[in-house]
Amino acid sequence: MFTISNVHLIFTKGKLHCSYALDHGRKSKMAVDRGNVLLATTFFCVLMLQHYLQELPFGCSPSPCNDSTHTVSSRPSVHDHHPHAGRCEGRGQEGDVLTGALHQRVVRRAGDNLRVNMTGPSWQPWREDDPGSPCVNYETRLGGGMARVWLVSFPCSGNTWTRYLLEAVTGIFTGSFYNDDFLYKSGMLGEEEKVDSGRTLVQKIHGAMMKTTYPYDLLIRHSFFDHRLPTILLLRNPARAIISYWKLLILQDRGGHTGDLPPEQFLSKDFHDFVETYVSHWEVIATDRLLWSSGPLYVLHYEHLLHNTTHHLRHLLHFLRVPVNEDRLACVSSHLTGPFKRSSNKDFDPFTTQEKIIMSTVVRRVTRLLLLLDYPPPPVYEWLS
């Protein structure tokens, strides 16, 4: 047996370090550098970091932003692709070094010219428009030799809709780790491509937390990803995402992607056990990417994309280094819903007071980490304070 004491977190040489004392004062030290967390003892540093994120004032406000304002001071350069990102005053120079690699854009190397395969499979997203429509003949096709880019989210956070928007505006299919036959038959023909085929623009995944046998094992989760790959982290109100995910699982054999459930389906003990489990999954999916990514990382809030779609889609294309086709973007603007929108009872609230307190605490921790790393905070989430 041993004890752990005197835990400290410090910025030095571009890394966030955690030091602690083991076995009657013998000092140990390891770097939590979003890419080298390979020992189980790092767990104690993660616990300390969570406390740090919850308690330490950063000198900038976690107040919600809208589509034109933010509470931190604006800063150009590498953060330009984030419409709301800015410097968290008081964090210091070491923090700027820490975030430098994250706030880059996707690198497109020789041969990655975003051209599509004109002889391969295609899909017309707006084929049901009137024959004279300027959108009716646009096609989506597979590419070739493209950089891998993860699209990471908790399930039912708007991942499929974001993929629809990207496919529609670029004309290039997106891919997935999961090979969903329903999505493939609905026109997402990149769904059955291997994630490393180089033929899809981004690749959907829900993170190691949702895939590994031992989701709370740090080493297994860390080994699941190549953390150098560019990543889009898509975040949604966990309360809304959990409701949608519960619907998807219950209805998976009968229209799970677009179906709805009656309110009584949310009154069971099974649902509330589900909430308890998946609130922590939501947090881990977000923090794993924020702490361990060492390549370009773009944070996109679903609610921001929903309320100002073309604005945030432009910024997302900028991050991906994909030129904007204004004619296709205009067609997207007139076809925002796409074919995968779920029906819902917007005013239905199935959560207990304690569940809302837990979700609010989790959101505050993730928000503080977002601000620490110069990313925009989420909006004020419905039902959560």
Query: What domains, with CATH codes, occur in the chain?
Result: 4-92 (no CATH), 122-372 (3.40.50.300)
The per-residue pLDDT for 214 is: 67
Q: What is the pTM of this model?
A: 0.80
Average pLDDT over residues 322-326: 97
Q: Please, which pLDDT band fits residue 261 given cuts at 50, 70 and 90?
A: confident
Give the residue, 80 or 75, on which the prediction is more confident: 80
- Answer for the pair 110, 72: CB distance below 8 angstroms, yes or no: no
Q: Are strands 15-22 and 231-235 parallel, antiparallel or unpaired?
A: unpaired
Closest CA to 73 of 90, 52, 91, 88: 88
Residue 99 pLDDT > 80: no
165-204 pLDDT, tens per residue? 999 999 999 999 998 998 999 999 999 999 999 999 999 9
As a whole number of Å, the end-to-end CA separation of the chain is 40
Q: How many other β-carbons are positioned within 10 Å of the β-carbon of residue 158?
A: 24
Give the residue, 134 or 51, on which the prediction is more confident: 134
The per-residue pLDDT for 210 is: 72
d(CA 69, CA 61): 13
Average pLDDT over residues 259-272: 83
Q: Please, which pLDDT band fits residue 232 given cuts at 50, 70 and 90?
A: very high
Q: Where are the alpha helices (DSSP H) in the chain?
A: 42-55, 93-100, 159-170, 181-185, 218-224, 238-250, 269-292, 302-307, 309-320, 326-333, 353-372
Assigned token pair, 116: 């599509």
Average pLDDT over residues 6-34: 43
The per-residue pLDDT for 154 is: 97
- Torsion angles phi and psi, residue 200, rounded to 5: -125, 150
Q: Per 3-state DSSP, what percentage of the chain is helix, strand, and coil (rounded to 5)?
A: 35, 15, 50
3-state secondary structure of 26: strand
Q: What is the largest CA-CA distance in the chain?
A: 79
The per-residue pLDDT for 108 is: 93
